[in-house]
Amino acid sequence: MSGRQALRLLVDTWRGRFGLAVLGLTVFVAIFGNVIAPYDPTASSLDVLQPPSFDHWLGTTESGEDVFSQLLVGTRTSVVIGFAAALISALLGSAVGIASGYFGGWTDRILDSFENWFLVIPTLPLMIVLARLLDPSLWVLVAVIGLTSWAGTGRIVRAQVMTLRERAFVERARALGASDFYIIKTHVLPNTLPLIFANTVLIIAVAILSEAALSFLGLGDPSRISWGSMLENAFGSGAPSAGAWWYVIPPGLCITVLVLAVTLIGFLYEEIINPRLILDRES
């Protein structure tokens, strides 16, 4: 799958177009959210828990802040953590997967059991423990999420590399005396990249959800607004019992739509690589 094909796929399918549109809008808001926000998201006022009005499109919070502004500003936290954590996870997972699949033997045995353990240990409790032990900040969250979600990628990459290793062109390169580094760089990596890419896209979704969950549990960066921390504040201040739907629905909906967009793109690429997972109708 070349880069061009990968782009075509996004433009030619409804799922790709939906994903691309949502992703584009989200990234735009993540960059310019502060500028376009009508209010200072942390400026409290006496208009407490007001329903949507002309002044406050999505109403106000329990301390009279503008929900819409918070939503716009909070986008950046979700996007940065989602993408950065997925990147770490992808790098770590690919490195471990390639090493384990390519070198085999004891390297594989040790790395594989490590992978197995990380697959089995429930991720959220592990993230909670790490986030609680360290002082929560944006980059701590990135590290915590990235370091706990790589095992799945490692497993998939390992399987792919193991089949590649037996293929003729790799055997030939080895017989010709090419170094391991060279073979990995020119033969293994290019053939594993589409798989890593598809997986990373799916990990972005996991990372966004993880950030939201940690923030919701009060383990987010206290100096930043995120969709998860908005939900935490909304829930903590009793907004649901007050019937303040304008405060409760938007952050969750944003998370859902972004995760959905990313997941659909991820599935799209996964289907190309592995046609067993077919989501679309035949066309």
Partner 1 sequence: MNARWLSGKVAAAVFTLLFVIVFNFFLFRVMGDPTEQLARLPRATPEEIDKLRGQYGLDRPLMGQFADYMGDTARLDLGTSQRSRRDVVDEIWDALPWTLLLVGTGTLIATLLGTWMGVKAATRRGKKTDDALLGFNLFTYASPEYWIGILLILVFAVWLPILPSGLQVTPGAQFNSAFAEILDVAKHLILPATAMTLMLLGQYFLIMRSSMVDILTEDFITVKRATGMRWDRVVNRHAVPNALLPLVTLSAIQFGSVVAGAITIETIFSWPGLGELTFQAINDKDFPVLQGTFLIFSFGVILANLLADCLYFYLDPRVQSK
Which residue's CB is nearer to partner 1, number 33 or number 228?
228
Q: What is the maximum span of the chain, computed from C-alpha positions, in angstroms?
A: 76
Interface size with partner 1, residues (CB under 8 A): 51
Binding to partner 1 by residue 90, rule CB under 8 A? no
Binding to partner 1 by residue 245, rule CB under 8 A? yes
The helix or strand, by DSSP H or E, that contains position 261, with its residue range, turns out to be helix 245-273
Among 57, 191, 235, 237, binds partner 1 (CB under 8 A): 235
How far from chain centre, in Å, is Cα 160? 22
Among 60, 75, 199, 263, binds partner 1 (CB under 8 A): 263
Left if phi > 0, otherwise alpha if psi is -120 to 50, otherwise beta: which for 218? left
Among 11, 46, 120, 175, binds partner 1 (CB under 8 A): 120
List the beta bridge partners of residue 66.
Answer: 60
* Dihedral angle computed from the Cα positions of residues 262, 264, 266 and 268, in that order, rounded to the nearest 10 degrees: -150
Residue-wise DSSP of 165-214: HTSHHHHHHHHTT--HHHHIIIIIHHHHHHHHHHHHHHHHHHHHHHHHHH
Q: Which of residues 170-229 bind partner 1 (CB under 8 A)?
A: 205, 209, 212-213, 216-219, 228
Which residue's CB is nearer to partner 1, number 7 or number 278?
278
Which residue's CB is nearer to partner 1, number 38 or number 240?
240
- As measured in angstroms, the least distance from the Cβ of 249 to partner 1 is 7
Q: What is the C-alpha to C-alpha distance for residues 238 and 123, in angstroms, rounded to an integer?
A: 28
Among 7, 43, 110, 121, binds partner 1 (CB under 8 A): 121
Q: What is the C-alpha to C-alpha distance for residues 206 and 202, in angstroms, rounded to an integer?
A: 7
Q: What is the C-alpha to C-alpha distance for residues 42 and 48, in angstroms, rounded to an integer?
A: 13
Binding to partner 1 by residue 123, rule CB under 8 A? yes
Binding to partner 1 by residue 106, rule CB under 8 A? no
Contact 56, 66 (CB under 8 A): yes
Site stretch for partner 1 (CB under 8 A), options 88-96, 162-170, 189-197, 251-259: 251-259
Among 48, 92, 95, 134, binds partner 1 (CB under 8 A): 134
- As measured in angstroms, the least distance from the Cβ of 207 to partner 1 is 13
Classify burial at 19, counting beta carbons within 10 Å of its beta carbon; exposed 0-12, middle 13-18, buried 19 or more: buried
Contact 211, 82 (CB under 8 A): yes
Binding to partner 1 by residue 36, rule CB under 8 A? no
Site stretch for partner 1 (CB under 8 A), options 44-52, 160-168, 186-194, 245-253: 245-253
Q: Give the interface with partner 1 as residue ranges (CB under 8 A).
A: 116-117, 119-126, 128-130, 132-134, 152, 205, 209, 212-213, 216-219, 228, 231, 234-235, 240-243, 245, 248-249, 251-252, 255-257, 259-260, 263-264, 276-279, 281-282
